[in-house]
Amino acid sequence: MLRKVVLIAMPHVAPFEFGVVCEVFGIDRTDMGGPAFDFHIATAEPGAVPTSLGYTMQIDEGLAAADDADLIAVPAHLIDDPVHPEVVRVLREAEARGAWIVSVCSGAFTLAAAGILDGRSATTHWMHAARLAHDYPLTAVNPDVLFVEDRRVISSAGTSAGIDACLHLVRTELGAAAANVIARRMVVPPQRSGGQSQYIAAPVSPVQSDSFADVTEWMLQHLDEELSVDELARRALMSPRTFARRFRADLGTTPAAWLNKQRLLRAQLMLEQSDLGLESVAAETGFGSAAVMRHHFVKVLKTTPAAYRRTFSVTTVPAADLEQALAPVS
Give the pLDDT score at 213.
82
198, with CB counted inside 10 A (0-12, 13-18, 19+), is: middle
Q: What is the mean predicted confidence (pLDDT) over 148-153?
A: 95
Residue 200 clears pLDDT 60, i.e. is over it: no
pLDDT tens for residues 51-105? 999 999 999 999 999 999 999 999 999 999 999 999 999 999 999 999 999 999 9
Give the pLDDT score at 281.
95
Give the pLDDT score at 319.
47
pTM above 0.75, yes or no: no
CA 159/CA 147 separation, integer angstroms: 11
Highest mean pLDDT among 118-127, 208-217, 242-251: 118-127
Give the pLDDT score at 186.
87
Give the pLDDT score at 197.
47
CA 121/CA 141 separation, integer angstroms: 6
Q: What is the mean predicted confidence (pLDDT) over 18-28?
A: 96
Give the pLDDT score at 324.
46
Pairing of strands 153-156, 147-150: antiparallel
Give the pLDDT score at 1.
84
Give the pLDDT score at 206.
34
**Distance from the Cα of residue 292 to its chain's centroid:** 25
Give the pLDDT score at 124.
96
The confidence band for 320, taking pLDDT boundaries of 50, 70 and 90, is very low
Residue 276 contacts residue 322 (beta carbons within 8 Å): no
Q: What is the mean predicted confidence (pLDDT) over 153-162?
A: 91
Q: Which domains does the chain have, with CATH numbers?
A: 4-186 (3.40.50.880), 205-330 (1.10.10.60)
278 or 160: which carries more pLDDT confidence? 278
Give the pLDDT score at 317.
40
CA 287/CA 293 separation, integer angstroms: 5
The confidence band for 251, taking pLDDT boundaries of 50, 70 and 90, is confident
CA 33/CA 184 separation, integer angstroms: 12
Give the pLDDT score at 108.
98
Residue 210 clears pLDDT 60, i.e. is over it: no
Residue 249 clears pLDDT 90, i.e. is over it: no
Give the pLDDT score at 211.
67
Residues in the chain: 330
Q: What is the DSSP string of 23-72?
A: HHHSS--GGGT----EEEEE-SS-EEEEBTTS-EEEE-B-GGGGGG-SEE
Average pLDDT over the chain, rounded to whole? 88
The confidence band for 205, taking pLDDT boundaries of 50, 70 and 90, is very low
Q: What is the share, in percent, of the chain residues with pLDDT greater than 90?
A: 69
Q: Report the candidate in 181, 244, 239, 242 with the shortest Cα–Cα distance to residue 30.
A: 181
Residue 321 clears pLDDT 60, i.e. is over it: no
Q: What is the mean predicted confidence (pLDDT) over 299-316?
A: 81
